[in-house]
Amino acid sequence: MCNINYGFGKEGNVMSERLVLTLPPSVNHMYINGRIGHRLSRILSKSAKMWIDDTVIRASDWRKKNEWTTAHHKVVVRLWYYFPDYRRRDTHNTIKILMDALEDAQIYADDRWALPQIQDFEIDKSNPRVEMEFQIVE
């Protein structure tokens, strides 16, 4: 059985400052059909690659600023989505690219340790984003 530490600050394993990122592309928009050699394959779109690069930089900066040590065990990732309009969207279609980018930023050593939990979604026309908190599970 796992114990979740609900304290705040570095000592309590919960970072009180949220990491704020631009909205990730959905699975429906992150791949294009392309060729690798003579074979047709699905490859990351240019916009998805740009989002990953930007996210790795922002998350790495957050990690350093908050003195977050790369986790080698379970980490709860709480997510709040703020969409730009009322179009129907599926928050779950963004989790793979988001968890992969956070692994590249060394929030955790392997995304198998990430336990994403979508908390809520809202509309924020002026500032669409995803906010997240991390909590180590002991």
Q: Answer yes or no: is 31 within a domain.
A: yes
Domain hosting residue 60, numbered range: 10-136
The per-residue pLDDT for 40 is 78
Q: Answer yes or no: is 5 within a domain.
A: no
Q: Answer yes or no: is 1 within a domain.
A: no
Note the pTM of the prediction, 2 decimals.
0.83
CATH number at residue 58: 3.30.1330.70
Give exposure, 84-122, as e/b (b: 16+ Cβ within 10 Å): eeeeeeebeebbebbbbbbbebbbbeebebbbbeeeeee
DSSP 45-105: -HHHHHHHHHHHHHHHHHHHHTTPPPBSS-EEEEEEEEESSSS---GGGGHHHHHHHHHHT
The per-residue pLDDT for 1 is 43
The per-residue pLDDT for 53 is 96
The per-residue pLDDT for 54 is 97
The per-residue pLDDT for 8 is 39
pLDDT by residue for the chain (138 residues), tens only, comes to 444 444 334 445 565 699 999 999 987 777 777 777 788 787 788 999 999 999 999 999 999 999 999 999 999 999 999 999 999 988 898 999 999 999 999 999 999 999 999 999 999 999 999 999 999 998
Cβ count near 77 (within 10 Å): 22
The per-residue pLDDT for 6 is 40
Q: Answer yes or no: is 98 within a domain.
A: yes
Q: Answer yes or no: is 24 within a domain.
A: yes
Tokens of 130: 């995803």
At 60-80, the pLDDT tens digits run: 999 999 999 999 999 999 999
Tokens of 58: 């922002």
